[in-house]
Amino acid sequence: MARWTGTALLCVTLLQGLRMTTTLPNGAPLSACEDMMPQHTGVTPQPGPAPYTIQVSNSSYETGVPVTVRILGPVYRGLLLKAVAPGSTSALGSWQDPPENTKFLQCSGNLQGAITHANTNLKNNETVYVWIPPSSKSSIQFMATVAELRQLYWLNVKSEMLTGEKAAFSNSNDALSE
């Protein structure tokens, strides 16, 4: 009897889970920064693997030392780019002056927490984004939504993981506290 109730409960929970995930793409009231969904009414993301990759200058980072990021693949028009810890949606670090045709997007309370397109002019693999790492030392990866055209975009384009290194200038402090 108790087991039967448990199974029924599990089914209800699974169904609710399913309903939540299927309605999210149709405009859950989350900011673009959190869910990385473009505000393209009636357009859904491409399902397959993206033709884009994120190229990063370094496999590790130091606090305050710039890391450069490029989007490789077909020329693109739309972009949302941020750094996150694995499994999180909060933007980490901040971005330097955005390249031409792009601008800052406020993210996780940081005015320079993400980069997005400023217009639909073409961007290509020579468009360089410069990220300034935060003081945390956690592993991060870059995450992007890339739109080749308004009706053609991919979510969840991810870079390799970057590990956080101790900044050289904080070594003496660390030594003192250890």
Instruction: Give the footprint of ligand NAG on this chain (CB under 6 A).
Output: 58, 60-62, 65, 67, 72, 124-125
CB of 129 to ligand NAG, least distance (A): 14
Name the strand (E) or helix (H) holding 154. strand 152-165
Residue whose CB is less far from ligand NAG, 60 or 141:
60
Report the side by side order of strands in the sheet with 129-132. Answer: 53-56, 67-72, 129-132, 94-95
CB of 84 to ligand NAG, least distance (A): 18
Say if CB 80 and CB 38 are below 8 A apart: yes
Q: How many Å apart are CA 154 and CA 160, to the nearest integer?
A: 17
CB of 125 to ligand NAG, least distance (A): 4
> Is residue 122 helix, strand or coil?
coil
Neighbour-count burial of 79, counting CB atoms closer than 10 A to its CB (0-12 exposed, 13-18 middle, 19+ buried): buried
Residue whose CB is less far from ligand NAG, 44 or 121:
121
DSSP 168: G
Residue 22 φ/ψ, nearest 5 degrees: -80, -20
CB of 155 to ligand NAG, least distance (A): 21
CB of 111 to ligand NAG, least distance (A): 23
- For residue 144, the cross-strand partners are 81, 157
